[in-house]
Amino acid sequence: MKICVLGGDGYCGWATALYLSAKGHDVSIIDSYARRLWDHQLGVQTLTPIRNMPERLKAWHQLTGQHIDSFVGDITDYEFLASTLRSVEPEAIVHFAEQRSAPYSMIDREHAVFTQVNNVVGTLNLLFAMREFCPDSHLVKLGTMGEYGTPNIDIEEGYITIEHNGRKDVLPFPKQPGSFYHLSKVHDSHNIMFGCRIWGLRATDLNQGVVYGTVTDEIELDEALINRFDYDEIFGTVLNRFCIQAAVGHPLTVYGKGGQTRGYLDIRDTVRCIEIACLNPAAAGECRVFNQFTEQFSVLEIAQLVQTAAKKLGREVEIRHMPTPRVELEEHYYNAKHSKLIDLGLQPHFLSESLLDSLMNIALRYRDRVDSGVFMPQVNWRNARNERRPARAAVTPAELALAMDGRS
């Protein structure tokens, strides 16, 4: 298939582009390199030393003979996006090109506004471009399980059957997002559903859980292909942070009681889920929703798993509870359905099988690059303005050159 990966320089996007290319698909990447610039502006960096995009693509071509086209630009620029889709004529569009951090969106007004404008406008541009230039293409959009929040009922896959006053209907599952970022994803979901309904577009909304791991078969081929490993309080995941803290002997910092429960999946399952969605497209006019995760854990359970894994490597580490900077339930019911991708052929990897190889050993290998100053949270949900650098929608030529050079 001809597949265009929006946000192909990011964590999920890079792994997905390589996986699809290795499977023989004709892959193109669209990226503005903004993700690298955000690291630069925040004064943080990925644990792993990732190369710039030209080096990555050159290494991939030399190792495999496969060529991936790269288009540099921002999808909030409609003319750029439209001309690129006209050139590529994709059969499937994988959309990762959004600001994906809840803490980033909660820094202050500027970051909240930037997140919603960037994400919602980018997706709206994509829907209009698809309608005009590739109406038969299939949109595979990365959503988030965070759209649902933590309701006191089972979470269905996108839709729920409601019976009210003697009448019955199938409606979108209620949304209870926990940040301005998650709100932007809810707006995306509504816009995508609307585009499918009125224009006959086809879309799969993948409500993804927390992704972990740096290792895929493709990335293991060479150091030049290594993926991101974010652990800072803005873009890092709690699992990554715990692994890094264990690697340097720092207590594992659990927010509140640690009962906050979420879905998790291995990066190898992420890329397979994308391929499954591409190979089994939605029908014209259909906006389907898959809950994309394989296991559920609480934060405290994750801390205990990391503590046990660290002990196997001869490292003792304590678990320390601290006040949560977020506005969230520290204990709650959580049972989310996630059968549709399994039914289509997903064979999951599990955290117990990959915690040492894909996480702890990577953390130990690069522990000299760890900045322990980014462990503690500085962004508090209750504050209207936290002490962080301002968000900027525009990228200057000098910043673009910096991102292209990979020095984020």
Q: Which residue among 19, 33, 181, 231 is the active-site one?
A: 181
Do residues 144 and 336 touch, judged by C-beta distance below 8 A?
Answer: no
Residues whose CB falls within 8 Å of the CB of residue 374, separated by 6 or more in sequence, listed in order: 44, 231, 232, 233, 236
Verify whether residue 2 is a known catalytic residue: no
Instruction: Give bridge partners of residue 164 from the DSSP assignment.
Output: 167
Instruction: Give bridge partners of residue 165 from the DSSP assignment.
Output: none
Q: At what angle do helices 34-42 and 397-405 cross, to 10 degrees?
A: 100
Q: Which residue among 115, 185, 270, 366 is the active-site one?
A: 185
Verify whether residue 255 is a known catalytic residue: no
Verify whether residue 181 is a known catalytic residue: yes
Q: Which residue among 16, 123, 144, 253 is the active-site one?
A: 144
How far is 408 from 362, CA to CA, in rounded Å? Answer: 20
Burial class (CB in 10 A: 0-12, 13-18, 19+), 8: buried
Within 10 Å of residue 321's Cβ, how many Cβ atoms? Answer: 17
Q: At what angle do helices 78-88 and 122-133 cross, to 10 degrees?
A: 40
Do residues 170 and 182 touch, judged by C-beta distance below 8 A?
Answer: no
Active site residues: 144, 181, 185
